Structure 1
Amino acid sequence: MSLKWIGEYEVLETIGIGTVGTIYKAVKTGATQPVAIKLLLPSVSENELIYRRFEREIEILERLNHPNIVRYYGSGKWENQLYYVMELVEGASLREVLNRKGRIRWQETVEIGWQVCSALQHAHNHGIIHRDLKPANLFLSKDGRVKLGDFGTALDTAAVNLTEMGLTVGTYYYMAPEQIRAERRISGQTDLYSLGCVLYEMLTGQPPFRGENSAQIFDQHLNIPPFPIRQHSPSCPETLERVVMQMLEKNPDNRPFNARSAQGALAEALVEWDEHELEKMEAQHASAVELPEQDQPILKKLLLSTHHEITSEDISWGKLSLLAIVLIAIISLVTWLAD
C-alpha cells in the first residue's frame, strides 16, 4: 500500500529510496508549493546509531542557511519514524546532466564550481565538512542556482564523538586521500579535493581516476597524479587547469587555503574570458529575484539546453514514427492501385 500522508503533508510521489531513508515529493495541507521529505526507513528506525545520526543530520541542516544549500524547513516524527522537510529542487542533478552531455563547457564548469565553493565556505564556517561531494549531490535549479544536498555523512567538527573522526565515508571516485586512509585530520580541504574531482569530470567527461574496482581507484587517489586536463580538453584555460589540479593535490596543505580562495581563483579564470559573464553570475547569486532573460547566467542556459535535447529527441522520434506510418500507408495504397 503506497504512503498517502506524512503528518500534515500529502505525499505526491516517491523521488528516491536510499539505504536509510526514502525521499518523497509532498505538499503541506493548505499550501501549494511542493517540498521534499526524507523519511527514515522503518527497518533502521530501531537502530540507535542510525537514528542518532539522522538526528545529527537534522541538527546540521538547522544550522545551515545559504542559497546554494538545499533549504531545511523542519522535522518531525511519523509512526515512530523520523523525517525532515526540505526544499524541492525541480531541475536536474549534475549527475543527470553529465550522463546526458558527457562533459560540459569550461565556462559552465567555472560557474558550478563558483557556487559550490560558496556553499562549502558557509558549511565550513559552521564547522560542517560534507565528506560526500559528488555530482549526484549537486542539484541545478530552474533559476540557474546550484544546490548542495545530502548531508547524511557530513562531519560536525563540534560533535566528533558521534560522527567518528577516522571513519571512512564517501564515494570512491571523489574521495580525498585522507578519507581513504581514514585519517583523523578531515578538514575543508577534504571537500575541496572532492570538488576538484567533480570539476575534472565536468571538463573531461570522466573522473580523474578510474579502475576495475575500488582498490585500484584508491591506489590512484593515494599515489598517482591525474592526467593534465588540457590533454582531454584543449579548450580549458591554463588558469582553470591550475586551480583544479591544485585542488587534487595529495597533501591537503598544498590545496587552496579554503573554499573562498578556490572561489576567487575560479573567478579569475572567468574574468579572463568575459568579465560581463562574471558580473551576471554574481548578480544571480546575490539576488532572490530571477534576472531578465538576456542577463541569465550560462548555467541556466545549460539546464535549458539539457531539457531541450531531451524534448527535441522525443519530438524527433514521434515525427519519425508518424512519417513511417504515413509511408507504409502510401506504399500499401500504391500497391493496391497497381493490382
Structure 2
Amino acid sequence: MTPPTPEPQRLKFIPTAATFRLGEPLGVGAVGTVYRAESDDVPAPAAVKMLHPHIAHDSGVVDRFQREIVIMERLNHPHIVRHYGGGMMNGQYFYAMELLAHGSLSDRIKRSGPLPWPLAALYTAQIASALQHAHNHGIIHRDLKPTNLFFGDDGRVILGDFGIARDTHDSEGTDPGRTVGTYAYMSPEQICAGGEITGKTDLYSLGCVVYEMLAGRPPFAGANFAQIWDQHLHAAPPSLREQGIECPEWLDHLVAQLLEKDPERRPFNARAVQGYLRDHLEDEFGKDYPQAIRERFAPPNSA
C-alpha cells in the first residue's frame, strides 16, 4: 500500500517570485539534489537545490532546509553565495542560489598543492570579511572548511553551505548539546558541545583553513575522529615556519592565534583578522594589494 503523501508544512519564508527551469543535476546529497537552472528573473545561471521527496515527511529535515533559506535571506555580501529565494516546485521544497562553477578551495589544494602565502593571506581576508558580515547578522557558520569555499568568476573566494549554521536569533534551531561540524575543522567548544558557540568558533575553523592553504593539509590528522578531536582539545598545532613552510612570521603568528584552544585568546572578531591582514599586505604589496597579489600569484585560468 502506498503511504499517503504528507501535507506540506507551512512555509517559514516568503516564496520567491522567480521561476526556474531545471537542467542537468550537479550533485546529489543525503538531503537533496542540486541542479543547474535557468531563469528569466535572475541575471545568470543558478543552482537549485531540491529537497528529496522521500524525506519531506521528516519535520526536522524540512525545518533545517527552511531555516537555511531564512538565514540566506538575511545575508548579502560579495564573499557569500548569492541567494535567489526558495519555495515549492512540483510539490518539492527548493531554494536557488548563485551557480559557482569554478570549483572549491579544496579542489584547488588537491590539484595544485599549498598556496603561495600572499594568495592564502588574501583569501583569508576575504573569508574573514564574509564571516564578519554573517556574525553581524547573528549567523555562525559552524562548518567552515575548504569544501565550502568556492571561486567566483572573478577569482574571489565565496563562502557557501549554511546548512548547519546557527542562527542566534532563533531559539528553536540552536541544537543544544549537539556536536555538529567537520572533524578536521571543529573548535574545542564545538567538540565539547556544552561550550558557548560564538563567532570565535568560526575563527578557529578559519585557522584550520589557513593552515591547510599554506601546508596542504589540516593542522591535525588521525585515524579516526577521536584522535583528531583529542588534538583539537589538547595538542598545539605544529608551527608552519618551523616546518620550513614559507610564510612571514606575522602570518604564522596569526594562524597560531586563530587556533588557540581558549576562545578568549583568539582575535577579537573576524574584522580584526581582516584588518590585521590588510595592514600587513598593504605594507608588502601597496594599497592595491588584491590586484597585485592576483596578478603575481593566482594560477592561470583560476577564474
TM-score using structure 1 length: 0.80
1:247 to 258, 271, 295: 258
**What letter matches 2:93 in structure 1?**
L
1:173 corresponds to 2:184: yes
- What is the alpha-carbon distance in structure 1 between the residues aligned to residue 296 and residue 88 of structure 2? 37
1:223 corresponds to 2:223: no
* Secondary structure in 1 matching 2:97: strand
Report the Cα offset of residue 45 of structure 1.
Answer: 1.2
1:150 corresponds to 2:161: yes
Report the Cα offset of residue 154 of structure 1.
Answer: 0.1
57-66 vs 80-89, which deviates more?
A: 80-89
- What is the alpha-carbon distance in structure 2 between the residues aligned to residue 299 and residue 64 of structure 1? 30
Distance 1:241 1:305, change over 3 A: farther
Are the equivalent residues in 2 in contact too, given 1:142–1:303 (CA < 8 A)? Answer: no
- What is the alpha-carbon distance in structure 1 between the residues aligned to residue 285 and residue 42 of structure 2? 42
Are the equivalent residues in 1 in contact too, given 2:214–2:245 (CA < 8 A)? Answer: no
**What letter matches 2:300 in structure 1?**
L
**What letter matches 1:65 in structure 2?**
N
The aligned counterpart of 1:12 is 23
Aligned 1:65-76 pairs, distance under 5 A: 65-76=76-87
- What is the alpha-carbon distance in structure 1 between the residues aligned to residue 117 and residue 212 of structure 2? 11
Distance 1:155 1:300, change over 3 A: farther
1:164 corresponds to 2:175: yes
1:78 corresponds to 2:74: no
236-245 vs 264-273, which deviates more?
A: 264-273
- What is the alpha-carbon distance in structure 2 between the residues aligned to residue 142 and residue 136 of structure 1? 17
* Secondary structure in 1 matching 2:171: coil
Distance 1:300 1:138, change over 3 A: farther
Larger Rg: 1
Structure 1 unaligned segments of length 5 or more: list them.
1-6, 282-294, 308-339
1:119 to 130, 151, 164: 130
The aligned counterpart of 1:323 is none
Distance 1:8 1:42, change over 3 A: same
The aligned counterpart of 1:268 is 279
**What letter matches 2:56 in structure 1?**
S
1:304 corresponds to 2:284: no
Report the Cα offset of residue 301 of structure 1.
Answer: 5.7
Q: Percent identity?
A: 49
Report the Cα offset of residue 12 of structure 1.
Answer: 2.0
Distance 1:86 1:300, change over 3 A: farther
- What is the alpha-carbon distance in structure 2 between the residues aligned to residue 261 and residue 152 of structure 1? 26
**What letter matches 1:76 in structure 2?**
G
The aligned counterpart of 2:117 is 106
1:36 to 43, 47, 50: 47
The aligned counterpart of 1:134 is 145
2:209 to 179, 198, 216: 198
Report the Cα offset of residue 9 of structure 1.
Answer: 2.0
- What is the alpha-carbon distance in structure 1 between the residues aligned to residue 195 and residue 215 of structure 2? 32
Are the equivalent residues in 2 in contact too, given 1:14–1:24 (CA < 8 A)? Answer: yes
2:33 to 19, 22, 30: 22
Q: Please tell me the root mean square deviation across aligned C-alpha atoms, in Å.
A: 1.9
Report the Cα offset of residue 142 of structure 1.
Answer: 2.3
Are the equivalent residues in 2 in contact too, given 1:112–1:299 (CA < 8 A)? Answer: no
Are the equivalent residues in 2 in contact too, given 1:131–1:190 (CA < 8 A)? Answer: yes
Q: Give runs of ≥4 in structure 1 deviating > 6 Å.
A: none
- What is the alpha-carbon distance in structure 2 between the residues aligned to residue 299 and residue 212 of structure 1? 39
Structure 2 unaligned segments of length 5 or more: list them.
1-17
**What letter matches 2:122 in structure 1?**
E
- What is the alpha-carbon distance in structure 2 between the residues aligned to residue 80 and residue 296 of structure 1? 49
TM-score using structure 2 length: 0.89
1:45 to 56, 71, 76: 56
**What letter matches 1:49 in structure 2?**
G
Distance 1:233 1:88, change over 3 A: farther
